[in-house]
Structure 1
Amino acid sequence: MSSLFAFMLVALAIVAIILMITCLRLNPFIVLMMVSIITALGAGMSAEQAVGAFEAGAGHVLGHVGIVIALGTMLGKMLTESGGADQIALTVSAWTGRRYADWAMMVIGLLVGLPVFFEIGFVLLIPIAFVLAARTNTPLLRIALPMCAALSVTHALIPPHPAALLAVDAYQANIGKCILLGLLVGVPVSIVAGPVFGRFAARHVQLTEDNPLAAQFVSKEPPAHLPGFGVTVLTILLPVLLMLGGSMADSMTLAGSGLNTFLHCVGNTDIALILATLLSFYTLGLARGFTRETVLQFSTECLGPTALIMLLVGAGGGFSHVLVQSGVSHAITNMALGVHMPLLLLAWLLAAVVRVACGSATVSMATSSGIVGPILLHAHNVSPELMVIATGAGSVAFGPMSDAGFWQIKEYLGLTVPQALKTWSVVETLIAVLGLVLCLCLSLVI
Structure 2
Amino acid sequence: MTRLSVELLAADTPPPITSAGHAQLGIAVLIAFAVIVLLITKFKLHAFLALTVGSLALAAVAGAPLDKAITSFSTGLGTTVASVGVLIALGAIMGRLLADSGGADRIVDTILAKAGGRAMPWAMVLIASVVGLPLFFEVGIVLLIPVVLMVAKRGNYSLMRIGIPALAGLSVMHGLIPPHPGPLVAIDALHANLGVTLAFGLLVAVPTVIVAGPLFSRVAARWVDVPAPDRMVPQRASDDLERRPSFGATLATVLLPVALMLLKALVDIVVDDTTDTTQRVFDVIGTPLIALLAAVLVGFFTLGRPAGFSRERLQETVDKGLMPIAGILLIVGAGGGFKQTLIDSGVGQMILDVSKSWSIPAVLLAWLIAVAIRLATGSATVATVSAAGLVAPLAADMSTAHAALLVLAIGAGSLFFSHVNDAGFWLVKEYFGLSVGQTIKTWSVMETIISVVAGGLVMLLSLIV
TM bracket, shorter-chain basis? over 0.9
Q: Distance in 2 between matches of 1:124 and 1:102?
A: 17
Q: Distance in 2 between matches of 1:197 and 1:222?
A: 38
Which of 231, 238, 244 in structure 1 is aligned with 2:256?
238
Quote the residue 2:426 is aligned against.
407
Change in CA separation of 1:49 and 1:91 when aligned onto 2, cut-off 3 Å: same
Shift of 1:37: 1.1
Matches within 5 A, 1:215-234: 217-219=234-236, 225-234=243-252
- Is 1:425 aligned with 2:437? no
Matches within 5 A, 1:187-202: 187-202=206-221
Tell me the TM-score normalized by structure 2. Answer: 0.91
Quote the residue 1:322 is aligned against.
341
| Superimposed CA distance per residue, residues 279-311 of structure 1 (whole angstroms, 9 cap, x where no aligned partner) | 111111122211111111011122111111111
Cα RMSD, aligned residues only: 1.9
8 Å CA contact 2:363–2:409 kept in 1: the answer is yes
Q: Secondary structure at the match of 1:173?
A: coil
Q: Distance in 2 between matches of 1:249 and 1:131?
A: 35
Q: Secondary structure at the match of 2:232?
A: helix
Q: Distance in 2 between matches of 1:349 and 1:370?
A: 14
Quote the residue 1:28 is aligned against.
47
- Is 1:112 aligned with 2:138? no
- Is 1:59 aligned with 2:59? no
Structure 1 window deviating more from structure 2 (95-104 vs 418-427): it is: 95-104
Q: Secondary structure at the match of 2:97?
A: helix
Shift of 1:204: 2.2
Q: Distance in 2 between matches of 1:384 and 1:429?
A: 23
1:70 aligned partner, one-letter code: A
Q: Distance in 2 between matches of 1:241 and 1:197?
A: 30
8 Å CA contact 1:211–1:412 kept in 2: the answer is no
Change in CA separation of 1:147 and 1:3 when aligned onto 2, cut-off 3 Å: same
Change in CA separation of 1:228 and 1:410 when aligned onto 2, cut-off 3 Å: same
Matches within 5 A, 1:37-436: 37-207=56-226, 211-214=230-233, 217-219=234-236, 225-252=243-270, 255=273, 256-378=275-397, 383-436=402-455
Structure 1 window deviating more from structure 2 (380-389 vs 302-311): it is: 380-389
Shift of 1:219: 3.0
2:266 aligned partner, one-letter code: M
Q: Distance in 2 between matches of 1:296 and 1:24?
A: 39
8 Å CA contact 2:31–2:57 kept in 1: the answer is no
8 Å CA contact 1:105–1:146 kept in 2: the answer is yes
Shift of 1:181: 0.8
Q: Distance in 1 between matches of 2:206 and 2:448?
A: 16
Structure 1 window deviating more from structure 2 (10-19 vs 348-357): it is: 10-19
1:2 aligned partner, one-letter code: G
8 Å CA contact 2:338–2:421 kept in 1: the answer is yes
Shift of 1:88: 1.3
Q: Secondary structure at the match of 2:306?
A: helix
Q: List alignment gaps of at least 5 residues for structure 2.
A: 1-19
Shift of 1:7: 2.3
Shift of 1:332: 2.8
1:310 aligned partner, one-letter code: L
8 Å CA contact 2:415–2:451 kept in 1: the answer is yes
2:313 aligned partner, one-letter code: T
Q: List alignment gaps of at least 5 residues for structure 1.
A: none
Shift of 1:78: 0.8
| Superimposed CA distance per residue, residues 98-120 of structure 1 (whole angstroms, 9 cap, x where no aligned partner) | 32111111011111111111000
8 Å CA contact 1:71–1:274 kept in 2: the answer is yes
Structure 1 window deviating more from structure 2 (258-267 vs 395-404): it is: 258-267
| Superimposed CA distance per residue, residues 178-229 of structure 1 (whole angstroms, 9 cap, x where no aligned partner) | 1111111111111111111112111221338955222xx1338888854211
8 Å CA contact 2:24–2:61 kept in 1: the answer is no
8 Å CA contact 1:86–1:132 kept in 2: the answer is no
Q: Distance in 1 between matches of 2:240 and 2:102?
A: 6
Change in CA separation of 1:251 and 1:12 when aligned onto 2, cut-off 3 Å: closer
2:47 aligned partner, one-letter code: P
8 Å CA contact 1:106–1:146 kept in 2: the answer is yes
Sequence identity (%): 42
Q: Distance in 1 between matches of 2:325 and 2:366?
A: 36
2:25 aligned partner, one-letter code: A
8 Å CA contact 1:209–1:416 kept in 2: the answer is no
Quote the residue 2:464 is aligned against.
445
Q: Distance in 2 between matches of 1:134 and 1:28?
A: 26
8 Å CA contact 2:102–2:307 kept in 1: the answer is no
